[in-house]
Amino acid sequence: MKNPQFLNNYIYHAYNRGVEKRDIFVDDYDRLQFIHDLFEFNDVSSVMDKVKNKTQTDSFREIARYSRKENKREKLVDILAFVLMPNHFHLLLIQKKDDGISKFMQKLGTGYTMSFNKKYKRVGSLFQGGYKAVLVERDEHLRYLPFYIHLNPLKIKTCGGSTPTDWEFLKKYRWSSLLDYIGKKNFPSVINKEFLSTTLGYEEEHEKEIKRWLKKDRNINEEVLEINSGG
């Protein structure tokens, strides 16, 4: 699937997975590294050389340090939502600068691969080809995608239907933007949640809507696949 032409102020669903479906996040240090990279590389002036001598401890400290400099950054994209899964990730992005998504995804993929390969003493590609991106051009697409992204971790928990413990599991899963959307500060400097909050509801409404999806008989994956295929 060829990526669309990226236009400023349009919304795109971007995603990628590990080569041969391998895990791209082995432990929590890897996940924190990637979230740090979501922040650091979302900047017109970001320099790729920063990752070369970075340690895992540096990554944690830098998140807070860069957060205090938020107003000095010139962002390539607005990250509306994200989730990290063992062998893939999903991002919901608004392009802010010309070629912003292309530049951001290139820096993110290259930078994280460099850190991962250095840590695990490996060489070669980490991701399965280039990332994929889909233009979000229908209202129902936008209505489903944030919940699809935030419900993705349930694939780790169970392959069956929903259970009463699903919500508790999601509240304990740090590696998505869900917690920030329901009022629990997690990685607030990474995302711009104002757009989705005004569109889909603020903290209490977002939580209610997630719980409504958990009670639905139809899997949200089917809803998103149908919309992506034009159904």
Residues 175-203 have pLDDT tens digits of 999 999 999 999 999 999 999 998 888 99
If you average pLDDT over each of 25-29, 169-173, 204-208, which comes out highest?
25-29
Residue 90 three-state SS:
strand
* Unique residue bearing structure tokens 């508790």: 168
Q: What is the pLDDT of residues 198-213, one digit of tens each?
A: 888 899 998 998 888 8
pLDDT band at 165 (very low <50, low <70, confident <90, very high): confident
Instruction: Provide Rg for the chain, Cα atoms.
Output: 17
Return the closest-CA partner of residue 176 out of 95, 87, 81. Answer: 81
* Unique residue bearing structure tokens 């697409």: 141
Q: Which two tokens stand for residue 185?
A: 């500060």
List C-alpha distances in Å: 42 to 45, 210, 229.
Answer: 9, 28, 30
Q: What is the pLDDT of residues 95-139, one digit of tens each?
A: 999 999 999 999 999 999 999 999 999 999 999 989 999 999 888
List C-alpha distances in Å: 160 to 75, 83, 200.
Answer: 40, 20, 27
Q: Residue 87: exposed, middle, or buried by beta-carbon count in 10 A (0-12, 13-18, 19+)?
A: middle
Rounded to 5, what percent of the chain is helix, strand, coil? 50, 15, 40
CB atoms within 10 A of CB 129: 9
The pairs formed by 44-49 with CB atoms below 8 angstroms and a separation of 24 or more are: 44/74, 44/75, 44/76, 44/97, 45/74, 46/107, 48/107, 48/110, 48/111
Q: Which two tokens stand for residue 62?
A: 């830098």
Estimate to the nearest angstrom the gap between the alpha carbon of 85 and the chain centroid: 10
Residue 128 three-state SS:
coil
pLDDT value at residue 179: 96
Return the closest-CA partner of residue 181 out of 163, 199, 164, 165. Answer: 199
